[in-house]
Structure 1
Amino acid sequence: MRSPSGTAQRLSPVTKLRAPARAATGLPILATAVPVLGAVALWAVTGSVLSLWFAALAPMMAVAGFADRVWAARRARRRDDAVAEADSASLSAAIEKEVVRRRDRAWRAWPDIRRLLENPEEVWREVEGRQGHLVLGSGDIPITVAAEHVSDLRAEFAPEVAARTAGTPNLTMPDAPATVPLRGSLAVVGPEPLVAGAVRAMLVQLCLVHPPGDLEITGDLPGGFSWVEELPHRFTPGQHRIALDVSSGWDGPVGEVDASILIGRGGGAGVRVVLGQRATGSAHATVDTGEDSLEIRPQMLSEFQASLLARSLREKIPPTAMDSGELALDGLVEPHRASEPGAGARSLVSVIGTSNASAFCLDLVSDGPHALVVGTTGSGKSELLRTWVASLAAHYSPEDVVFVLADFKGGTAFSSLRRLPHVTGVLTDLDEAAATRGIESLRAEVRRREGVLAAAGVRDIAEGAADLPRLVVVVDEFAALLSSHSELANLFIDLTARGRALGIHVILGTQRATGVFREALLANCLLRVVLRAADVADSRLMLGDDSGCRVPAGVRSAGSALVRRATDHRPVPIRVALVGDEFVSRIAARSEAAPVQAPWLEPLPVTVALPGGRNDDTLLIGLADEPHLQRQEPVGIARSVRGLCVVGAAGSGVTTALQTVAAQIGEVEAWVDSDDLERAWDVLNRVAVTRRGAVVVDDADAVLAALPSEYAHVAAGLLETIARSSGEGHPFLLGLERLAGPIARVADLLPHRLLLRHSQRSDYLSAGGVPGHCDPTASAGRGRLDGTLVQVFQAETASRGVRVPNESTWRPPAGLTCWVTRATPGAERIQEQWLARDVVVTGPDHALAGGSPQALEPGRSLVVRAEPEQWQRFWTTLTTLRAQGPLLVDPSCAAEYRILTGRRELPPLCLPGALRGWLLEPGREVSRVRLG
């Protein structure tokens, strides 16, 4: 750990100054001995005893002088001690003043949370050295006071002061800020409540010092730290990044963060903060840097306090980005024409909002050339797209740029922009078929532009030689478009790959990026805008980091966005401007250009008459709509093919389509439908054997469904035989309502299929249709011929072919006739008619007389009537009578037909209740007759 002054922190006591030492005072031996020797010499010369008194006087004077000097020395010592005491007090006062000065300076340089809140002007104020440190709390910080820092001391004390203040900490600065450099990793360990409180204080401390844009809090938030989402530093990209981590370290890409706070894990950290609690309940912490340690009083915040401070910081964000309130586009740009004609060939610069208190511009040509916009519901994605289009329209004329707008989330996103002359068309999901058709037309637009550039002899629209405006395709809810038409993904990949040189730019908006944008699309769309990402995966896919998922939610923050261009190292926070109707009206009013023609043809008409004249090679079916080629031309099938299968619900135009093709054939050998099943059966049997021309079977599935099971099975085989024998100018035209069951095998034999409207999506898919082509609301005659959208031609009613001759009425001939029937109303009515014509009707028990048939008058008719069960009891009678005349079987006895007749082949179809029956005559084939 480093102290605020930058010196190593160690504790050292402060001691009092001492007075300088003085020389010791002794007796004057030589001065005393010389007078004594002189007195003795005088006494020896003069012999006078008085001279010896001089010898005694000298020691007395020496003792007196010594005593005087000792007393003077004591007085000087007391005086020096007093001076030293005063200087020590002065030194202490000077040192204390220096310590206080340094502590105040330290707190001003590195204020803690309390001091920052007491002085709001200090919040986010840039101070040299402040942003590079983190205040952990307060403590007694060792400092060094140099001799030059102490004034007003006596000169004799300066050497001692200098020696005591030379190079090592000698004093303690109490209650001073304890800081650590904001780099590397900082581990906070201890009891969980204390760790949480300390980390909350650290984060708030950092956010009070560093403004949004300077510091960014990244990483996954641990439990109890949801309040961090309220901090503007959480969703605003910053120059410095700090990560929260509950693991052993930051696991993101190397170099993505400047510092990390490890919660509850200390392994490998550069600085460890070990928290504890004293017996008094107060918290303390030991800061260990690996070189030395210091005990401090850490800052602590509750979750409630941290949340309040986070919200207050969020409210401090200036209204330049990430703030509430509406920002009008007309306050940033006034509609005007580009500086010179053709300016759009080189760039598409537009203002879309503000960033850092100034207008924020994007150049779709140089920053793009294509853009992806991601934003969850309510984030303002549609508003951004509208603003972008309106701003481009305000800067450039329709000769420079035109728009194709597609809205797949309700059809109202671009309704206000329809009046702009730049807008060639607005496609919506309210008319999904038209929208899809318009987007597919862009393929043809690509080829058209390639031809124009080739004719001009240039390779890029930026060269200015080609007279082409730039085309901007804007799609709102791209994911919704792909969900119903996944095949269009390749179209947009092709547009983004080839569009730059052709002047085609794509702006795609969606709620989710993951799973929607393919790699090939992402590689060509370098301009990314995120209003709010749904999760971290979307944010990293779009921006390269997780800042996109921290853009604040709610109506208050709508329009807050992050933009990342290819040249940006980190996303740029912006606030999107709103465009009003008045602004759009001014753009539309100032333009003198006529509305631009859409790059697609008008939709197919509801009815189209069959063109006149005969085509020897093709049977025309309808008018094809090929938006990818920007053309509508008649389309049909070759006359030499095997045939055509038309599938559609009732009223979808199946019969019309069959009539249209049949009318071009000329003579149709047979036309079969479900109106007359007996005739249909007869025709199928005849055509399957003697095929001479075209055959049309309408409602084939209904025909098979209406036939009895045995007949339906045989009929399906007959249809298959007819299909296999078709071709070479004799096509087989098959009409169905549902492609299911045995008829599906017949339909597979025909090379062409026309799918008209289906009431059920499952039926359409079963018929081989593409999910995106199913349109239950399509008009009659609108369908897909082998995948191509067509409107069937309408022709005059075609010939229905040769009809099977109607059966003549059969009555019992003269002689004996066996009749197998049940007691049905029809049988009773027929019997009454026969009795009225003098026909004798009797039972099998009266038919024989002596083992032979009854004798009849010439010309009389005898009908022996019985139910199948009775005939089986009179089997001998039946055998005898059958040799004498015909056997008539009513259709109600079809189950017993084979038993009573002995024939295994199916008889002609005969429907019960139709007054018909099967007639079996000796030596002839069974036939169907009408009774009367």
Structure 2
Amino acid sequence: MSTTFSPRRAVDVPGPLVPPVPSGDVVGTVETIDGPATPEDPLALLDAWSAPARPPVPLVASSVPIVGAVVLWLVTSSPLALVLAALGPLIALASVLDGRRAAHRDRRRHEAEARERRERVRADVDRRLHAERRRRLFRHPDAAGYLVRDGDVWRDVPERGGRIVVGRGDAPSGVRVTGGVGDPESDDIRARAAILSAAPIVIDLAGGVAIVGPPVLAAAVHRALVLQVCLALAPGVIRLVGAGEPGLEWADELPHRHATTGERLSIQSGPLPDADIVIAVIAAGEPLPAGCRTILTVESIDRAHLDHDGSVRRVAVEALSVPQAREIARALLLRARRSLGLSVVDDRPVEFAETIADAPPSAIGGLVAAIGRDGAGVACVDLVADGPHAVVSGVTGAGKSELLITWVLSMAATHATTEVSFLLADFKGGTAFDALRPLPHVAGVITDLDGSGARRAIESLRAEVRWRESELARHGARDVRDPRVEVPRLVVVVDEFAALLGEHPELHAVFTDVAARGRALGIHLVLGTHRVSGVVRDSLLANCPLRLSLRVSDPADSRAIIGVDDAAHLPGDVQARGVALVRRPSDHGVQRIRVALSSAADIARVAAASRGPRPRRPWLPDLPRELALDELTAAHAIDERTLVLGLSDEPERQTQRVVGVTVQDRGLLVLGGPGAGKSTALALLAGQAAEVIEIPPDGEGAWDAVTRLAESSPIGGVIVIDDLDTLASRVSADYASMLIERMERVIRSAGDSGCLVIASAQRLSGPAARLGELFPRRLVLGFPSRADHIAVGGDPATFTVDAPAGRGRLERIAVQVALPAKAPHSPLSIDRRDDPCWHPDAALTGLVTRHRSRVRDLLPEWAERGIRCVDVDAYVADPAVTADGRVVIVGDPDEWQREWRLLASVRADHDLVIDTTCALDYRVLTSSRELPPFARPGEGRAWIHRAGADPVRIVLFPADVRSDRRGSGS
């Protein structure tokens, strides 16, 4: 590294730049040691001299000469022999004196040897301490150590991983000294060997450091510690967060400030961002920042107190001035650009006009787009080379819409409409892409406000795929790059893909299909979403190799789109808006860029400079809300056997055609809510048929009509049933099942008899569900709620709240029902009138009724016709009353059943009239299991039973008789 580092003084910090060290250490010069120290034998000192034990007095040796002298004197009697007795004590005394002399000589020799050993050990201790200090400084250099030893910068040394030198101070040494027991000087040597002075004090970086002290000095120490970490760990292993605040401008050029991966190192003193490691300056008395376990209280360069893990020690710290820090940061930035290929993104906004002016030319057939800048210049992406499809992720407010707009505008600025067109879909409010509408390249803009229009536009992509496949097949080409195929590329851009799928989840299959086949066909997807996990399925994501991510809230989303969690750690401030991470399939890592901002003036300039015709729109206009039958038949050729229903819309085929029904269809059921157009649809079809049989809406008429149709099906014609779901309710419970049974026979036999049954219903429940299943075709019109729509078998995805009258789905195909040439009458069936009032015409007639008062009201009229009325009992008493004129025998059910012979006679040979009020006794009275025709209760109806003939419903009591009796309370 070319940085010049002064070991003496920082520019704005008084005192030495690094702490003083003992003699022999040169500050800023660290000898290179290639490996750990080889263990050495302990140094041995001589123990203090101890005097040997005194020898005992030689009593035996001293006594022998005395005994010998006495014996000799006794033998010789010479006094001279007694003199020899004194030799023993003299010899003993001499021996004691000689021992003391030898001990003094040994002591002097031991002390000389000990002094020599201490000097030698003292020198060895100094040498070993010095060597150990150098080894420790090599293993854990501070900022000065890295600067003078360029090869150690960003070197991966396992012993250094995750550790930082906070200063120099006393530390236990590895030098071992033994011996010297009892010698004070040896004790001093051992104490000196046990402590390594000026040793690098190393702590775990993960514990963080909080620096307290005078602001200028604390800031200088802070710079030294931060730069030491940046010198030790390369960008990508560590990255800075929190830089950019006042006082930290020197860190802006550090390559770690622009790294997108690695552990997050916060260096700011204010509110801390989400960080893994914290090195911060705090004022005295402030609480310790979260993540800090170490406090470094600085008093001067050579005096600071380190509070770590419950112990406090004194250290000397390292400090750097602002110019020195800036110079080191610039040197590291140059190194990163040269060795790591790092690109640095400018935090200033990027204008689209500047970006597009410097954009490289697009390759033939490519879609190169300049979308912003990185540290090396203009940042470009190519949907053809890097795609064919892309995913853009980012939280709300990160700049996702601006990125999509810039991307589209850049492609439009460098390509003609014959080369590329755009289909833009905005599902986060409907206004994001409004500014791009003036571009001639834009084939259409759809929004979440379009309702079903957005869905059909996306479904049209299937038709676009088929159309492009046919174009390629027609020219015998493999893909759109073939010059014979003049088909522009289509880029489908979706903002808030998650919202689109939330409203129309079935469209995911459409996008998956397009993504799988789009490359060769020239269809490209750019899907913007606030999150990828759980939204974009793997089958679709696998075909979107071009990934761009702005800031996301969840690391899992970041990993899902770019493979690393960097996007979750992008700053969330306003200044960082528009910063994106790009990953192409060929990239080994992510590229950080700043997205260019476009303006209305930029869009206007691009639109004005665009060349080429308007592109082909990939979908047809929506169906009209009203469609007249006359206009439809005039514009389309229609088979005369077809009853026209309306106009269908098939966006997946990009076609709209006339649809109808024929006799071969056998039946059509029209379902819908109130005002949906059910009756209009029936009237439309009935108005085109040559013969129409309408099932009346009242119970009697419905029973009679269905019964006739079930007994003798007509040949040809259209049978119309409005409100099929109310058919069973038009008659009483005992008639309902029979009516439904007969209606089933009518519907089942319609195909054999050449009839077409068309019916309408609002809901399918109970008996109506049974009948509904018999209709081969079903038209589902609008319903007020999704639940009603689903209940009749409608597809939940096709439900629309604001569907116009007549809009529906015929076998999943959208249809607009045409309006008949003239307004239909309502109801479809003709109003029924009461049948003529019955009058007896046989010689003898039996009448079963509980309303004798009403019969009395009829007597005057019957008398005028020559009819007499007698009771059952009177007739039994005198049968001769029938001799002259016509007679009506009147009685209630009980009376008739008591006179069972009379009842059998009348039932077998005469007419038996049974009032509907006696319906419960009908089968007993007639001995018939068959139900009579349905009659409306309370309407004066009755049945005539004739032997061998079907019962006939009649009006027994005219309306005036019924109303009079009701008014009088009878």
Query: Are residue 521 (structure 1) and residue 546 (structure 2) matched?
Result: no
Where 2:164 maps in the other structure, the secondary structure is strand
Query: Are residue 905 (structure 1) and residue 933 (structure 2) matched?
Result: no
Structure 2 counterpart of 1:640, one-letter code: Q
Partner of 1:380: 399
| Structure 1 residues 158-193: Cα deviation after superposition (integer angstroms, max 9, x where no partner) | xxxxxxxxxxx999984454469xxxxx798xxxxx
Task: Report if the CA contact (8 A) 1:853-1:881 is conserved.
Answer: no
Query: Are residue 464 (structure 1) and residue 489 (structure 2) matched?
Result: no
Partner of 1:639: 663
Mean alpha-carbon deviation: is it higher for 360-369 or for 209-218? 209-218
Q: How does 1:117-136 map to 2 (within 5 A)?
A: 129-132=152-155, 134-136=163-165
Distance 1:878 1:844 in 2: 17
Where 1:382 maps in the other structure, the secondary structure is helix
Aligned counterpart for 2:676 among listed residues 644, 652, 655 = 652
Structure 2 counterpart of 1:402, one-letter code: S
Distance 1:335 1:889 in 2: 101
Where 2:481 maps in the other structure, the secondary structure is helix
Where 1:438 maps in the other structure, the secondary structure is helix
Partner of 1:707: 731
Query: Are residue 210 (structure 1) and residue 210 (structure 2) matched?
Result: no
Aligned counterpart for 1:530 among listed residues 546, 549, 558 = 549
Where 2:356 maps in the other structure, the secondary structure is coil
Task: Give structure 1 stretches of 5+ with no counterpart.
Answer: 13-87, 112-121, 145-168, 181-185, 189-194, 219-230, 245-257, 260-273, 288-294, 301-319
Structure 1 residue 464, shift from structure 2 partner: 3.4
Aligned counterpart for 2:894 among listed residues 872, 876, 879 = 872
Mean alpha-carbon deviation: is it higher for 636-645 or for 392-401? 636-645
Structure 1 counterpart of 2:353, one-letter code: D
Distance 1:361 1:607 in 2: 50
Structure 1 residue 772, shift from structure 2 partner: 1.0
Query: Are residue 810 (structure 1) and residue 838 (structure 2) matched?
Result: yes
Structure 1 residue 634, shift from structure 2 partner: 1.9
Query: Are residue 625 (structure 1) and residue 649 (structure 2) matched?
Result: yes
| Structure 1 residues 850-889: Cα deviation after superposition (integer angstroms, max 9, x where no partner) | 73469489557657465xxxx4377425874685565544
Task: Report if the CA contact (8 A) 2:164-2:205 is conserved.
Answer: no
Where 1:929 maps in the other structure, the secondary structure is strand
Check 1:5–1:235 CA distance in 2 against 1; reply closer, same or farther (3 A cut): closer
| Structure 1 residues 312-339: Cα deviation after superposition (integer angstroms, max 9, x where no partner) | xxxxxxxx98897754433433599x96
Where 2:402 maps in the other structure, the secondary structure is helix
Structure 2 counterpart of 1:493, one-letter code: T
Distance 1:335 1:206 in 2: 37
Partner of 1:306: none
Q: How does 1:489-508 map to 2 (within 5 A)?
A: 489-508=508-527
Structure 1 residue 907, shift from structure 2 partner: 1.8
Structure 1 counterpart of 2:808, one-letter code: G
Distance 2:736 2:257 in 1: 73
Task: Report if the CA contact (8 A) 2:869-2:888 is conserved.
Answer: no
Query: Are residue 607 (structure 1) and residue 642 (structure 2) matched?
Result: no
Structure 2 counterpart of 1:848, one-letter code: A
Partner of 1:851: 877
Distance 1:744 1:760 in 2: 19
Aligned counterpart for 2:144 among listed residues 109, 127, 133 = 109
Partner of 2:106: none
| Structure 1 residues 539-568: Cα deviation after superposition (integer angstroms, max 9, x where no partner) | 222111222222333655432321111122
Aligned-residue sequence identity (percent) comes to 36
Partner of 2:939: 914
Aligned residues: 722
RMSD value, Cα? 5.2
Mean alpha-carbon deviation: is it higher for 589-598 or for 841-850? 841-850
Where 2:665 maps in the other structure, the secondary structure is coil
Query: Are residue 138 (structure 1) and residue 167 (structure 2) matched?
Result: yes
Check 1:502–1:854 CA distance in 2 against 1; reply closer, same or farther (3 A cut): same
Check 1:345–1:783 CA distance in 2 against 1; reply closer, same or farther (3 A cut): farther
Query: Are residue 747 (structure 1) and residue 779 (structure 2) matched?
Result: no
Structure 2 counterpart of 1:476, one-letter code: D
Structure 1 residue 6, shift from structure 2 partner: 4.0
Distance 1:633 1:492 in 2: 26
Distance 2:234 2:305 in 1: 39
Check 1:918–1:367 CA distance in 2 against 1; reply closer, same or farther (3 A cut): same
Task: Report if the CA contact (8 A) 1:345-1:461 is conserved.
Answer: no
Structure 1 residue 892, shift from structure 2 partner: 4.6
Where 1:624 maps in the other structure, the secondary structure is strand
Aligned counterpart for 2:788 among listed residues 754, 757, 763 = 763
Structure 1 counterpart of 2:805, one-letter code: A
Where 2:597 maps in the other structure, the secondary structure is coil
Task: Report if the CA contact (8 A) 1:136-1:202 is conserved.
Answer: no
Where 1:524 maps in the other structure, the secondary structure is coil
Distance 2:857 2:655 in 1: 70
Q: How does 1:553-592 map to 2 (within 5 A)?
A: 553=572, 555=574, 557-591=576-610
Structure 1 residue 512, shift from structure 2 partner: 2.3
Structure 1 residue 372, shift from structure 2 partner: 0.5
Structure 1 counterpart of 2:578, one-letter code: G
Partner of 1:778: 803
Check 1:574–1:844 CA distance in 2 against 1; reply closer, same or farther (3 A cut): farther
TM-score of the aligned structures, taking structure 1 as reference length = 0.66
Aligned counterpart for 1:929 among listed residues 951, 954, 963 = 954
Structure 2 counterpart of 1:717, one-letter code: E
Structure 1 residue 427, shift from structure 2 partner: 0.9
Task: Report if the CA contact (8 A) 1:723-1:749 is conserved.
Answer: yes
Task: Report if the CA contact (8 A) 2:305-2:314 is conserved.
Answer: no
Structure 1 residue 576, shift from structure 2 partner: 2.3
Where 1:682 maps in the other structure, the secondary structure is helix
Check 1:554–1:724 CA distance in 2 against 1; reply closer, same or farther (3 A cut): farther
Structure 1 residue 785, shift from structure 2 partner: 1.4
Q: How does 1:710-749 map to 2 (within 5 A)?
A: 710-728=734-752, 729-749=754-774
Task: Report if the CA contact (8 A) 1:235-1:551 is conserved.
Answer: no
Check 1:434–1:753 CA distance in 2 against 1; reply closer, same or farther (3 A cut): same
Structure 1 residue 753, shift from structure 2 partner: 1.7
Task: Report if the CA contact (8 A) 2:944-2:953 is conserved.
Answer: yes
Check 1:698–1:142 CA distance in 2 against 1; reply closer, same or farther (3 A cut): closer
Distance 1:737 1:411 in 2: 35
Structure 2 counterpart of 1:648, one-letter code: G
Partner of 1:509: 528
Mean alpha-carbon deviation: is it higher for 628-637 or for 128-137? 128-137
Task: Report if the CA contact (8 A) 2:848-2:896 is conserved.
Answer: no
Distance 1:403 1:909 in 2: 66
| Structure 1 residues 265-284: Cα deviation after superposition (integer angstroms, max 9, x where no partner) | xxxxxxxxx9999xx99645
Structure 1 residue 129, shift from structure 2 partner: 3.8
Where 2:682 maps in the other structure, the secondary structure is helix
Check 1:895–1:408 CA distance in 2 against 1; reply closer, same or farther (3 A cut): farther
| Structure 1 residues 711-769: Cα deviation after superposition (integer angstroms, max 9, x where no partner) | 22112211211122121532222322212222223322332222222223223223222
Check 1:929–1:531 CA distance in 2 against 1; reply closer, same or farther (3 A cut): same
Distance 1:580 1:213 in 2: 39
Structure 1 counterpart of 2:406, one-letter code: T
Query: Are residue 683 (structure 1) and residue 718 (structure 2) matched?
Result: no
Structure 1 counterpart of 2:417, one-letter code: P
Structure 1 residue 508, shift from structure 2 partner: 0.7
Check 1:204–1:517 CA distance in 2 against 1; reply closer, same or farther (3 A cut): farther
Task: Report if the CA contact (8 A) 2:210-2:295 is conserved.
Answer: no
Task: Report if the CA contact (8 A) 2:870-2:888 is conserved.
Answer: no
